[in-house]
Chain A
Amino acid sequence: METQTIVQEIGDIAEEAAKTPVVEVSGSVALLEALIVEGVDTIFGYPGGAIMPIYDALFDYNDKLNHILVRHEQGGIHAGQGYARTSGKCGVVFATSGPGATNLVTGLADAQIDSTPLVCITGQVFAHLLGTDAFQETDVINITTPVTKWNYQVTDANEIPEVIAKAFYIAKSGRPGPVLIDITKNAQIQLFNYKGYTKCNHIRSYRPKPIVRPQYIQEAAALINQAKKPFILWGQGVILGSAEQEFKAFVEKSGIPAAWTILGAGAIPTDHPLNVGMLGMHGNYGPNVLTNECDVLIAIGMRFDDRVTGRLDKYAKQAKVIHLDIDPAEIDKNVKSTVPVWGDCKETLPLLTALVEGKQHNEWLAKFNEYTRQEVEQVIEPELNPTTAEMTMGEVIKQLNEITKGEAVIVTDVGQHQMVACRYAKLNNTRSNVTSGGLGTMGFALPAAIGAKFGAQDRTVVAIIGDGGFQMTCQELGTIMQSGIDVKIIILNNRFLGMVRQWQELFNSRRYSFVDIQSPDFVALAAAYRIPGKVIDDRKDLPSALNEMLSNKGSFLLEVMVTKENNVFPMVPQGCSVSEIRLK
C-alpha cells in the first residue's frame, strides 16, 4: 500500500475518533442511556442489594425514565406485560438478584408463551462471587433459560451497550418474547470508555422472519379460491405484527367468516359482520362445530393451542389447512398444514389478498348464524339477561359494554370471569384485550392493568378479576396508590375458585375439594390503600355503580356479588373434539 493511503487512513481513523468523544461512564449509566435511546419511558421495578448501583444512577434520570415502584417483582413483570400489550412497545422490568429475580419467573413464563416483548434487567452478585452461594446469589440464567427467548449474563461493563441493544432487538423482532439480562454488581459500578449506543438490527445466527415464498402464497390463494366453506382462525400474531388493517382487508375481500383465539380478540371489532366469535374450550358454538365442517382452514398468527383445538386427532381432519406464521417451529407442530405460509403476516396477508377472489359466502355464513341463534337461546340469553335473583358475570360485562361502548381496554385474570369477559366484552379496537392466555396465570390482571394503563394513558382500563385471583397480587393496590394511576377494578365475586369448582361439578361429581375460598372485605382493603370502592349484590344498582366507577377520577374498586355456582358454557370438555362442544 502506498504511504499516501496509509497516512490518509490514519487521518480518517483519528478524525472518526475525535467525532465520538470517549467518556468514562459506569455500566449503570450506560444501561440507562441505552434505555433512553430505545425509547423507554416507563420501568416497573423493585430495588435490592445487587441492583443498587443501577438504582443509584436512576436517581438522576428521574425526569427521563418513569420508574414505577411495584410491591412484588411478579407484579412488576405483569405490569411490564400489560404495558407491552397495550402500547406495542417493549416492557422493561428491574429486579434485584436472588429472590427478586426468582419472583420474575412466572411473568417470564407467561410472556414467553404469550409472545410478549420484555427486557428484564436483574442485578447479580459480584462476578468473583458467582458460584460461591453468596448472599442472594441464584443461578438466574439457568433458572430462566426455558422461559426466555434469550438471556445473558454481563460481567463486564464494556459489554453493556451491545448486549442491551441485542436484548431489545431480540425481544421485539420476529416472534416477540421476554429477554433477561443479568448484570453483576461489579459491571454496574465499573467505569469504562463509553462510545455511545447503537441499536442492533442484525444478529448473524438469528432470523426473525422467514422469507416469504410466492409459491406458497399462490398455492394458498388457489385453495381459498376453490373453497366452498373456508374458515379463518386468527390469533395474536395479527396484533403482534401490527397487521390489523391487512387482516381486515383480507377478510373483507375474501368474505370468509373469521373466529379468534382469546389473544387475538379485538384485532377486528367484535361487531364486524364477518367476525363469527371465539374459538376454543369456552368459545362460541358455531366456530367450534364448524371447524370440523369447513373445507379450508386458514390459520393466521395462531398456534393451535390445545385449549383451541380440543382433541387433535379429531380436529379439522376434513379440511385443507393453510397456516400463516412467523415462527417456523409452529408450522406442523400441532396441526399438519397443507400449505405453510411462512412469514410476517403483515407481508404475507397483502400478497394473499391480492390473489384471492372477492367473494361472499352467504350460505356458509348463515350456518354460523344458525349456531349463534341456538347459542343465544340456550346460553347467551340466560347469561346476559338472567331472570334469576342473583346476578351473573355476563350481565356485568353486558352493562359495562353499554357504558364503555366497547372503547375500554379489558384486562382479565384467570378463571370463569376471564372466559365470560372474553366471550362478552365488546372490543372496538385492537390492543384492547389483555389476558394471560397460554399460561393462565391467576394474579395477572391487577398488575397487568396497571401496566396497561401506563401503556395507553388516554384509554379507560378495566380489570375484571375473580375473588380468588385478586388475592394473589392484591398488594399491587399499593402501586396504584403510590403512582396515582387510574385503573377500574371489577371483582366478580362468586365466593369460589369458580373455574375449578365448575370442573369438580362436571367431572368430579361435585366433590368440591378446596375451592370454597373466603375473601376479605375488598372494599375495605381498597380503602386502606385510599382507593374508593363499592360492593353491590342487587342488579338494580349495577348501572349506577358502573357509572360511578367509570366516572370516578382515579382508580375505583367495584365488587359485584354474583351467583355462586354458575357454569361457563359452551364447553369443549377436555379430551373431546371441538364438535362435541356442550351447550349445557
Chain B
Amino acid sequence: MSEDIEKQEFNITVYTENQIGLLNRIAIIFTRRKINIDSLNTSPSEIERIHRFNIVINESEDVVRKLTRQIEKQVEVLKCYYHTNADVIWQEMALYKVSTDVIAEKVSVERLLRENGARVVVLRKDYTVFETTGHREETDNLISILQPYGLIEFVRSARVAIIKDSDGFNRKLREFERLEPGEDVIENEYLNQGQKVFTM
C-alpha cells in the first residue's frame, strides 16, 4: 500500500490551557479516525499555567497536518505543531526488573550497564531494577539482552521531545496573554509555507 510508505513517526506538540477534559478532547481527535496514539505525555511547559502534550503517531504528513488543525481548533489549545523525528530531540525512559540472584550469577552487571547506558535504580536481595533512557531501539535492546535472564517486569515511559527549531515559541506563547497579539502569533503557521499552500 502506497499510503503506508508515506507513513512515518510524527511528534505532535500541543500547548494548552488546563488539562481537565482537554485530554479527552484531544484523544478523540485521533480515536475518531481510528488512529493509534503510540505515545502520549502531558507535562507543564516552561510557562506557568500552560500545559504541554507530546503525542507520537505513525501517519502520513497529510493526515498529521489535518489532525493538528483539528487540535488547534479546540478552544483551549493555544498552539499545535508537528515534527518528524529528525526535527526533535527525543527520549524515552525504561525500567527493567530482574532477579538479583540470576543476574549476579550469570552476567557481568558492570559490562551490561556500561554497554547499554543503563544504571541501577534499586538493588535488593530479591530483585534489581535497571533504568535506561534513550531512543526506542536502545530501550528495546536491553529487553532482548535481559530476556534470557528472566526479565520479571518491563515498562517504558511516554516520549518527551524538545523541538530543535523552537526559537520564538516561548515569546509567541507569552503573546497570547495580550488581547491583541501580533499577526505572526495568531496566524496559523502553515500559512507561512506560502509556496506549499499556494501552487498556481
Q: Is the CB of A210 within 8 A of B73?
A: no
* Those of B34-87 within 8 Å (CB) of chain A: 65-66, 69-70, 72-73, 75-78
Contact pick for A211, options B21, B183, B199, CB 8 Å: B183
Interface centre among A202, A204, A338 (most CB of B within 10 A): A204
Q: Known: A150-B75, A210-B188. Contact between A205 and B17, CB under 8 A?
A: yes
Judge whether B78 and A333 touch: CB under 8 Å: no
Q: Is the CB of A206 within 8 A of B75?
A: yes
The complex places the Cα of A382 from the Cα of B78 at a distance, in Å, of 56
Residues of chain A lying within 8 A (CB to CB) of residue B187: 210-211, 213
**Contact A328 to B72, CB < 8 A, known contacts A146-B32, A202-B179:** yes
| Whole-angstrom CA separation of A39 from B164 in the bound complex | 49
Q: Does A151 reach chain B (CB closer than 8 Å)?
A: yes
Q: How far apart are A21's CB and chain B's nearest CB, in angstroms? A: 28
Which of these, A145, A204, A320, contacts B25 with CB under 8 Å?
Answer: A145
In the complex where A223-B200, A329-B66, A340-B197 touch, is A145 in contact with B17 (Cβ < 8 A)? Answer: no
Min Cβ gap B25→A in Å is 5
CB pair B198 A339 closer than 8 Å: yes
B70, B78, B186, B200: the one contacting A329 at CB < 8 Å is B70
B178-192, CB under 8 A of A: which get 1 and which 0?
Answer: 010001001110110
B139 at the interface (CB under 8 A from A): no
Expressed in whole angstroms, the Cα–Cα distance for A254 and B177 within the complex equals: 41
Q: Does A219 contact B (CB under 8 A)?
A: yes
Contact of A203 among B75, B190, B200 (CB under 8 A): B75
A407 within 8 A of B: no
Is B200 within 8 A of A338, CB to CB? yes
* In contact, A329 and B69 (Cβ under 8 angstroms): yes
A211 and B75 form a contact (CB under 8 A):
no
Q: Is B21 a contact partner of A141 (Cβ separation < 8 A)?
A: yes
Q: Is A293 an interface residue (CB 8 A)?
A: no
* Contact A205/B77 with A146-B28, A219-B200 known, Cβ cut-off 8 Å: yes
Encoded as 1 (CB less than 8 Å from any B CB) or 0, chain A from 210 to 226 comes to 11010110010001000
A151-B21, A204-B177 known; A338 vs B78 contact (CB < 8 Å): no
Q: Which of A331-386 contact B (CB under 8 A)?
A: 332-333, 337-340, 342
**Residue B132 lies at the interface, judged by CB distance under 8 Å to chain A:** no
- Specify which chain B residues have a CB less than 8 angstroms from the CB of A203 in the assembled complex: 75
A-side contacts of B70, CB under 8 Å: 329
Give the docked Cα–Cα distance between A207 and B24 (Å).
21
B176 within 8 A of A: yes
Bound-state CA distance A205–B49 (Å) is: 12
Q: Which of A145, A151, A211, A338 has a CB less than 8 Å from the CB of B198?
A: A338
Task: Determine whether B16 belongs to the interface, using a CB cutoff of 8 Å to chain A.
Answer: yes
If A145-B24, A210-B186, A329-B66 touch, whether A205 touches B200 (CB-CB below 8 Å) is: no
Interface string of A141-161 (1 = CB under 8 A from B): 110011001111100000000
* Inter-subunit contact A149/B75 (CB<8 Å): yes
How far apart are the CA atoms of A327 and B77 in the complex, in Å? 15
Q: Which residues of B contact A152 (CB under 8 A)?
A: 21
Interface residues of A in 505-559 (CB under 8 A from B): none
Shortest distance between the CB of A183 and any CB in chain B (Å) = 15
In the bound complex, CA of A179 to CA of B185 (Å): 26
B residues 142-191 touching A (CB-CB < 8 Å): 176-177, 179, 183, 186-188, 190-191
B78 touches A205 (CB 8 A): yes
Asked if A205 meets B75 with Cβ closer than 8 Å, knowing A142-B24, A210-B186, A338-B200, the reply is yes
A121 at interface, CB cutoff 8 A: no
Which chain A positions have C-beta within 8 A of B65? 332
Closest to A203 in B: B75
> What are 12 A-to-B residue pairs whose CB atoms are below 8 Å?
A141-B21, A150-B75, A170-B75, A205-B77, A213-B187, A219-B200, A327-B73, A328-B188, A329-B70, A329-B72, A332-B197, A340-B198
Q: A145-B28, A332-B197 are in contact. List 12 more A-B contacts (CB 8 A).
A: A150-B75, A202-B179, A203-B75, A205-B78, A205-B176, A206-B75, A206-B76, A207-B186, A328-B69, A329-B70, A332-B66, A338-B198
List the interface of chain B (C-beta within 8 A of A).
16-17, 21, 24-25, 28, 32, 65-66, 69-70, 72-73, 75-78, 176-177, 179, 183, 186-188, 190-191, 194, 197-200
